[in-house]
Amino acid sequence: MKLQKQSAIVTGGGRGIGREIALALAREGAQVLLASRDEEALAHVAHEIHHLGRHVIALKTDVSDEAQVAAMADAALREFGRIDILVNNAGAVGPTTPIAKLSRAEWDEVIAVNLTGAFLCARAVIPQMVSQGSGCIINIASIAGKLAYALRSPYAVSKWGMLGLSRTLAQELGPNNIRVNAICPGPTAGERMSAVIEGRAKELGRPREEVERDYLDGTALKRMVDPAHVAAAVVFLASTEGSSITGEAIDITCGYAL
Active site residues: 155
Q: Which helix (H) or strand (E) holds 250?
A: strand 249-252
Amino acid present at 256? Y
Per DSSP, the residues of 103-133 read -HHHHHHHHIIIIIHHHHHHHHHHHHHHHHT
Cβ–Cβ under 8 Å, residues 93 and 192:
yes
Q: What angle do CA 235, 238, 239 make, to 5 degrees?
A: 85
For CA atoms 109, 43, 67, 32, give the dihedral sign.
negative
Farthest-apart Cα atoms in the chain, separation = 54
Distance, in Å, from the CA atom of 215 to the CA atom of 211, rounded to the nearest integer, reads 7
